[in-house]
Amino acid sequence: MLANRYLALLATLCCPPSWAAEHIVHRCEDSTGHITFTTMSCGPGEDLSLQRVHPYSPGSIEPTAESMLPEAEHRQTSGNKITRRETTVVGQFEDRCGNQISARQRREAIMDKRIITGMSQQDVQSALGKPDSIKIRNASTRYIYKAKKGRSAEIVFDENGCVKGKS
């Protein structure tokens, strides 16, 4: 008899009624229009409205309209206005060739196996592979690529290791 009571009590604790699953959520909106949903109280200067939430219960077929948060009112507030600001560059990559070409130009040239002024020795090797020979005179370096598929090339670098322009 006592065991039956404990079983009944245990069954009611494990399966609370549907009204026990509903929650109250605070919807807080500040003066700028920012909305926060919380179970805590709203901050100073925020408008409070209570929202009843009936969570979706796994045994039901379809969630009802009451089982989800209500639709937000779409209205213009002062916080919804977008003000454009000028972009500030905090740090910028400076290559040893003085940023003569952009990263996009560099990437496209390497993929197309083209050599353009402002590329570094590493960029040239990425595009064409290791040179067949290297000649160093005074402050300039030359990479020589012998004919492969009908293409020969001689690339001249300045003292910084950057491809020189045609002079």
pLDDT digit string (tens) for 12-62? 555 555 545 567 788 888 888 888 888 777 888 888 888 877 666 666 555
Q: Residue 29 domain-assigned?
A: yes
Q: Residue 92 domain-assigned?
A: no
40, 58, 76 — which closes off a domain?
A: 58
Q: Residue 9 domain-assigned?
A: no
Q: Residue 1 domain-assigned?
A: no
For the chain, how many structural domains are there in total? 2
Q: What is the mean pLDDT of the chain?
A: 75
Tell me the pLDDT band of 149, cut-offs 50, 70 and 90.
confident
pLDDT confidence of residue 108: 93
Which of 25-29, 82-86, 105-109, 129-133 shows the lowest mean pLDDT across its residues? 82-86
Burial 81-102 (b: 16+ CB within 10 A, else e): eeeeeeeeeeeeeebebeeebe
Q: Residue 5 domain-assigned?
A: no
Q: Residue 67 domain-assigned?
A: no
State percent of the chain over pLDDT 70. 63
pLDDT confidence of residue 111: 92
Q: Residue 98 domain-assigned?
A: no
pLDDT confidence of residue 125: 92
Q: Residue 167 domain-assigned?
A: no
Q: Compute the distance between CA of residue 150 and CA of residue 32 in angstroms, rounded to an integer.
A: 67
Residue ranges making up the domain that contains 37 = 20-58
